Chains A and B, each alone.
Chain A
Amino acid sequence: MTVRTAVALTTREYHPFEAAGRRFVYMVPSAAVFGLDETSAAVLDALGERRMSADDLADDLADRFVPDDVRQTVNELMQVHAIGEAGVLQEPMSRQMPPTPFPLTTMVLNVTNQCNLSCGYCYEYGDDKIVDTENGAQPKFMSEETARQSVEFMLEESRDIETVNLTFFGGETLMNFPVLQKTVEYARGRAAEMGKGIRFSLTTNATLLRADIIEWLADNDIGVTVSIDGPKEMQDELRVFKGNGRGTYDVVAPKVRELLRRHKSRPICARVTLTRNVLDVMRIYKHLTEEMGFWEVGFAPVTSSSSRDYAIGDEGFTAMLDQFNELAEDFLEAALENRHHGFSNIKDTIEEIHKGVSKAYPCGAGLGLMGVATDGDVALCHRFAGSDEHKLGTVESGIDHGLQQEFLEKHHLANKTDCHTCWARPLCSGGCYHEAYTRYGTTARPNLHYCEWIRSWTDTCLRIYGELAERNPGYLAIFDG
């Protein structure tokens, strides 16, 4: 006999979405994705905003479903926390801290803070800069000695990690090519001695690429990311030479083509900064992949305070989102046929959805990733390198674990109360620290100015994920592991 129960139930946190004619729920905060059948979809619909008991629901749906089936569905939905007892307080947000000491997996080495370009939006030179790289006390170029110390620091702080990542950054990285070259050689030798693997990558504006440099990058398996904003008129809008202010496209394009022709040992990626007048995502993507030959293209809206004339306004965000959605459809078409597609933004997010990542921190900054300034100061990430306020140690003395712990406690998602009612928080977790610092003057604030955008984009990614899960689940195997 079934015991009648009057326990009132309500829905809990999840985000519903539809793909390939099927309904799904993205559970919050577990980040699990479940596919619904007719009964579970009907139960969630019937419950809606109301309070009903399992018996009420069984009665309500009796014309379409067997009551015991409804009760079982209610039970399943309760087990995954899609519904729960009304009036029972939900568990407070977990404040579980990462294990300490947390191993370093990626070190970003700012080998110089100088650049031969003066891109209007650059966070290192523009109006929103954090560190004075012109008149500040820091050396303009990292010395070979500091670079070596940094390598030792990285290998030491990586602890049991088998393979570490060393990324060179700037300024314009290639302005300190001699130190870069020697550091790669040194790091490779030291990693081998310690029985560790090491991967190298760098970001460059491509203006200083030469045949011999390209040769060296290819021979040494250095992953290359090129900062480039698209076709000539878009690239030349803000990516200009220092001094004469002339656009860089005509210099950059042939060098990039040569790089892509010669360097095949690692995928070469483009990194695009979107600004008010450079928002034609589809055209930029087609130009950089089909016409130039980049393997992947990643887009990021410019980080700036809202008053800058290159900042993207609300309308711009809507336009950008429409184009991201269009490119996402393009990606889906390719993925359904198991073809490569180079829209890296969506791949990154779909990988996180596939794994069910639920983050307490938006990124690895200050955790598994740190940035090193030219003087050897260690900060949250490359964007804060050289900032005393965001310093976590030095390569000489190591990580200050007290400071790191303080940072991690302060920036835990549990403290970002604005995020606690948002279904996108397992993936967003408040967003970029640097973006928050530029907008609100503190890394601890969630980036409330782009919440709508994040939710909409996450919804798109979930939908694309659902389509793939239904129509070509084999494709998702590339994200396993």
Chain B
Amino acid sequence: MKHLQPINQKAGKIEHYLEHDVVALSGQPRGYTVPQQPDSPHIPMGCSLVFSPGWEVDRSGGTAGLCQPVERDLFDCHLGCFWPAHVPDQLNHSPDWTSKCAAAQKDWRSLDIIFP
């Protein structure tokens, strides 16, 4: 490290780890400027699991592969959200609500509006 000087023993251990383990293993040259991106495509997680201003961009600023905010929000509430959200009651009234929506990105228009 050039701009941080390890002072105590723990700092020395961290520096040693970073110089000898992490950097060597990742094969990254020193001083790279972009944090390593994960190999798999970035999939934003449920709305309340991360604090994020919205789905307009992904974590590296990209816009590819994102669905529109509205239907993604609704569909994510239906699937992965632990918070009680305004989605149709699939247990009692609308068991087949998602039957016409095999892939949300493509079929989101088929999701019906339900009046309870």
Interface residues of A (CB under 8 A from B): 2-7, 24, 27, 30-37, 39-40, 54, 68-69, 71-80, 85, 87-89, 353-356, 358, 465-466, 469, 480
Contacts and interface: CB of A to CB of B under 8 A. Distances in A.
Among A2, A32, A68, chain B packs the most CB atoms within 10 A around the CB of A32
B14 A353 contact: no
A85 B42 CA distance: 15
Given A4-B61, A34-B11, A358-B10, 14 more contacts: A3-B33, A3-B34, A34-B5, A37-B3, A39-B3, A72-B30, A77-B3, A77-B4, A78-B35, A79-B18, A85-B59, A87-B51, A354-B9, A469-B8
B114 interface: no
B33 A54 contact: yes
Interface of B: 1-11, 13-14, 18, 22, 30-35, 49-52, 57, 59-61
Contact of B60 (A7, A71, A88, A469): A7
A76 B2 contact: yes
A89 B50 contact: yes
Contacts of A40: 3-4
B40 to A, nearest CB: 16
Nearest to A468: B7
A34 B7 contact: yes
Nearest to B59: A7
Contacts of A35: 4-7
Contact of A33 (B7, B30, B59): B7
A78 B50 CA distance: 19
A33 B4 contact: no
B4 A2 contact: no
A480 B8 CA distance: 10
Contacts of A80: 1, 4, 11, 14, 18
A37 B2 CA distance: 9
A356 B61 contact: no
Contact of A5 (B2, B9, B18, B34): B34
Nearest to A470: B7
Nearest to A73: B3
A54 B32 CA distance: 12
Contact of A2 (B5, B10, B33, B59): B33
Contacts of B2: 37, 72-73, 76
Contacts of A353: 8
Contacts of B33: 2-3, 5, 54, 68, 71-72, 74-75
B60 to A, nearest CB: 6
A469 B14 contact: no
